[in-house]
Amino acid sequence: MKKSLIALSITAVVGLQTLPHSAQADEMNSLDYQGKPASAHTVTANKALAKTLPWQDTTAFERTQKGLIAEFGTHAAGELKNRFQYMAEMNVDELPSSVNPSIWRQGMLNYAAGGLYQVTDGVYQIRGADLSNMTIYRTNNGYVIHDPLLSKEAAAASWEFAKQHLPAINGEHKITGMIYSHMHADHFGGSRGVFESGDFVKDAPIYAPKDFIKELADENVIGGTAMGRRANYQYGTTLENSTTGIVDNALGLGTSRGKVTLVAPTVEIQEREASITIDGLEFHAINMPGAEAPAEIVLYVPEYRSLNTAELTYDGMHNIYTFRGAKVRDALIWTKYLTELKLRFVDTGLVDNIHAAHSAPVWNDASTEVNEIAEYMTLQRDNYGFVHNQAMRLANHGVTISDVGREIEKIVPQSQLDTWHTNGYHGSYSHNARAVVNLYLGYHDMNPVNTNPLQTQEKSCVYVEAAGEDALYKAGMKHFDNGNYQESSQLFNDLVQCDPNNFTYRNALADSFEQQGYQSETMAWRNSYLQGAVELRTGKIEPSIKLASADVIANTPTGMFLDFIAVKLNAEKAEAAGLNFNLGLIHPDLDERYYAEVSNANMANIQVDQLPTTDVTLEISKADLTKVVLGQVTLEELLKSGEAKVKGNGELIGKLAATLDEFDGMFEILPMPTK
């Protein structure tokens, strides 16, 4: 039996990936890269845009400062803010020429947050320690932690800071429970920093929305390697924190340094709505999946007259489609959820504030008759409704998926343009509109030329050969010199695709990308343009960012691991090897059984109650499988000790392993030079 090949077939699933966090990004940032200055055309464009923005509206800055209990100062919880110190050193009225003035203002808003805040008596938030907010609710004997940030280190430091300023209850600061709003890493990744703080009450509950574990794994396993590589562009992993690099992360200033962890929830709330009580404090939890996340809950806290909207609201337009990759979100159901929350809790006067996973809360001002929360939520709701409804109206008039983004930008209502918190910092009107059309109609625009399109390089070379390299380059430079950077990029891209080794073309394309980045309001657009410029100029691809979290791997369902093995199966190798067999996998500790068939250069699996007859079966505990995947023990050792068993023809597992691809996340997005 080829035991090493059996081990390979299991360890091949290592490589789960998720959103980047700064420690890994900093390690990768080895290029010491500096961007070029803004061109005269970019300076003019950004100055012109600045004149159209509602600078007189400073309410978001006022909300950010309201309720401040204590600033981080030199405390470890302020590590993230200290990395953006250059912002504090700039004149408050200064608008960097290399930054779109709208996203610069968003960055300054996020930079303004940095400490412990009181939302209302009994509800507190740590803001500015990470991409997300940590919300803290006072219970009878302690505090509940809601969304414990991205990293263990940031969460631990934030809780320690909070303890210095929150009142002790019965002489202590006990943690009586934890809640995850949804399954994105910046809302659970710091859980061990809280759980292992020494303050977590034994057997205190940890709540999460329905399908939390399933959806967490589903979003990060199958396309995890590709998502990690794409995230390099969305988050600009080789860029400096500077006015020619990263200036903001839209949802927050940036991400913390440290380890992503996961303490598994003890309860996933299965009902659409449920009333849960943690140490005497009642929460009304409502599952609202399919909008911002596949699994997500919002919370109404009647004692504090507070509504936690999770990530359904924030100071900006969110993604319907995220560049790193993920399933397209449903803008229509998003509007329905916000309408429901508005009608049930806001219009009825049941809440005095809404607070969320990002940005500052919104309060009603008792001195005025204006329902500020209702106005805020209505604008947020209508933002997503506008994108959904108008994108599909245009599509029904025949506007294609490629054109709908530009068309919708022409008709954005003035009420949204005049409102900061509906601007496209995370999502944009353009790419969100395309996402809506894709959800309903798919990627094909029905032009027969795109039915069976030429491959990227082939198509570019057709244009280059028809026009001639010199003519195409001169045309591109003419557009560039006139400040038409997108047009110049279109032409330079064909030249680079057809001849990746020509650094004149590469640098020209990089220059055109860079100026577009400087003019972009949306974080992912800016970072993608600038990251593309880095790779074009340096000819280097930095490693993709891997989660490598023992907690996340340990909680990934085995069926997902088997699905990922099926994705890694190389069809040509499997066909050449003549693979045609079935196998079983048994977890005796969980009483779980999985059955798979390998046939016709494909692998399919399901979980079963009873295994049929198999050609080979591996019996191993889920805990031991996790240890093998993490490299903590070898399968050979487990087989030798009898802790794992193989029945049947074990060589088949080895043959399967020999057909599996390895994904290193170093694939090209823009073509790299071959010389």
- Using the structure block, give the residue that is written with the tokens 């969460």: 155
Q: Is the pLDDT of residue 11 over 70?
A: no
Mean pLDDT, residues 95-110: 96
Q: What is the pLDDT of residue 450?
A: 96
Residues 207, 177: Cα–Cα separation, whole Å: 8
Mean pLDDT, residues 220-233: 89
In a 13 Å sphere around the CA of 231, the CA atoms on its Cβ side amount to: 23
Mean pLDDT, residues 138-154: 97
Q: What is the pLDDT of residue 126?
A: 98
pLDDT in tens, 522-547: 999 999 999 999 999 999 998 876 65
Return the minimum-mean-pLDDT range out of 40-44, 145-149, 321-325, 386-390: 321-325
Return the minimum-mean-pLDDT range out of 20-24, 468-472, 559-563: 20-24
- Give the residue with greater pLDDT, 430 vs 368: 430
Tell me the C-alpha to C-alpha distance, in Å, between residue 422 and each of 17, 380, 523.
30, 6, 14
Q: Is residue 6 very low, low, confident or very high in pLDDT (cuts 50, 70, 90)?
A: very low
The total of other beta-carbon atoms located within 10 Å of residue 636's CB is 15
The total of other beta-carbon atoms located within 10 Å of residue 15's CB is 22
Q: What is the pLDDT of residue 18?
A: 37
Mean pLDDT, residues 335-357: 97
Cβ proximity of 396 and 436 under 8 Å = no
Mean pLDDT, residues 184-207: 97
Q: Which of 438, 440, 656 is nearest to 562 (CA)?
A: 656
Return the minimum-mean-pLDDT range out of 30-39, 100-109, 221-230, 264-273: 30-39
pTM of the model: 0.93
Which positions ≥6 away from 332 have C-beta within 8 Å? Answer: 385, 388
Return the minimum-mean-pLDDT range out of 582-591, 622-631, 640-649: 622-631
Q: What is the pLDDT of residue 46?
A: 97
Domains of the chain: 3-16+556-657 (3.30.1050.10), 22-376 (3.60.15.30)
Q: What is the pLDDT of residue 21?
A: 34
Q: Is the pLDDT of residue 312 over 50?
A: yes
Mean pLDDT, residues 303-320: 98
Residues 399, 392: Cα–Cα separation, whole Å: 9
Cβ proximity of 582 and 597 under 8 Å = yes
pLDDT in tens, 397-415: 999 999 999 999 999 999 9
- Give the residue with greater pLDDT, 45 vs 92: 45
pLDDT in tens, 53-78: 999 999 999 999 999 999 999 999 99
Mean pLDDT across the chain: 93
Residues 67, 260: Cα–Cα separation, whole Å: 29
Q: Is residue 90 very low, low, confident or very high in pLDDT (cuts 50, 70, 90)?
A: confident
